[in-house]
Amino acid sequence: MRRYIFTSVEFAFKTLKRSHQQSGDLFQQRSPKVFEGAPSINVNSVKYFIGYVDTNDMNFESEKRKFSSLKGYLSSKLAQVMVSSILQKNLPDGSGISVVCVAPGSGLRSTPFAATDSDVPKYCTKLKTDVWPVCAYMSYSCNKMSTSKEAHRTDTLQAVWEKTLDMVRLPADFVEMLLQGKEIQCWYGAHPN
């Protein structure tokens, strides 16, 4: 994984730009373990509930919305839930792969819980049957949580998914390619214009 050192303003923009993109990159890097049945767990925050993703300006580059680190954080966490939801929906039935977002809180127990509890994959399978894409979300107290209404907007979900794939330069069929054992390159960071 690349490491960057930035000035504070540049760091804030780059952090937002990479935060939800890293989930896709980490999924691709972990794919051998994921395809052995290990869960894909994305550490999130319940604060994503108040986030908003502008699909025309996901990285706050147009300056039509004033950037703040809080807005960037909330937006990136909502985008992460959206990408995780589409990824979970795109995984074929029987793949044995579960995509889970967890809110660790201060005790960090929800992450190992989501990785080891036998009911979590069953819950993920149940969610796949829903009309809209939705990933499992575990609270810091290890309880299932419903995702926010904003995370259920299918038009926004699809736009965030497509733009994220473009940002990290993954083909639209990367899930199928990984399941077939094909190697693909994933990239994140400053996207050249």
Q: Which residues are catalytic?
A: 73
Please give the DSSP secondary-structure letter assigned to residue 48. G
Q: Are 113 and 74 in contact (CB under 8 A)?
A: no
The maximal CA–CA distance of the chain, rounded, in angstroms, is: 46
- Distances in Å between the alpha carbon of 56 and those of 16, 53, 62, 96, 122? 15, 9, 9, 34, 35
Q: What tokens were used for 26?
A: 């980490």
- Distances in Å between the alpha carbon of 169 and those of 50, 186, 188, 190? 28, 6, 8, 12
Rounded distance, CA 107 to CA 148, Å? 23
